[in-house]
Amino acid sequence: MAIRIIVTEPDDVLHKKAKEVTKITPNVQKLLTDMADTMYDADGVGLAAPQVGILKRLIVVDVGDDNGLIELINPEIIESNGEQLGTEGCLSIPGLNGQVRRALEVTVKGLDRNGEELTITGRDLLARAFQHEIDHLNGVLFTDIAERVYDRKLDEEGE
């Protein structure tokens, strides 16, 4: 178990496009494991490799549903439907939340840690997490697309 340091805004790596993974090596598999450990340690539901300072197209997601941990290499959204407006936060932007409009349902295609093709359709929170993490791979943060950004602590206090 290796917990990595989560890169925070305004680090430049968060604004760069990640590179495609061309070969799945033991180092890539270890990075996926470390990313999952880091996400769980930080009580997150998703993490992208740029958030730990590595510009590779890797994400891990676990929204606490029956899917459990989802690891995707070179993920891409191949279909999206509907619309949802909801609250998002980000491990790389501590203290802020935002209202972000996303697709209600997305189908994502990528590779698993063994190089097998994986296609998953997610709704609601899982769809939101996929879109949020894939945005990270393209250098896009939720604050770039939010309709409203606010201080999480002030909101919790009802101010």
Q: Is 90 annotated as a binding residue?
A: yes
Backbone angles phi, psi at 11, to 5 degrees: -55, 135
Q: Are strands 96-102 and 58-61 parallel, antiparallel or unpaired?
A: unpaired
Phi, psi of 135 (to 5 degrees): -55, -40
Verify whether residue 133 is a known catalytic residue: yes
8 A C-beta contact, residue 144 and residue 131: no
**136 carries a ligand binding annotation:** yes
Residue 132 is labelled as binding a ligand: yes
Exactly one of 71, 88, 105, 133 is catalytic; which is it? 133
> Structure tokens of 45?
């539901």
Q: Which segments are annotated as binding site? A: 90, 132, 136
Q: Which residues are catalytic?
A: 133
Q: Which segments are annotated as binding site for Fe cation? A: 90, 132, 136
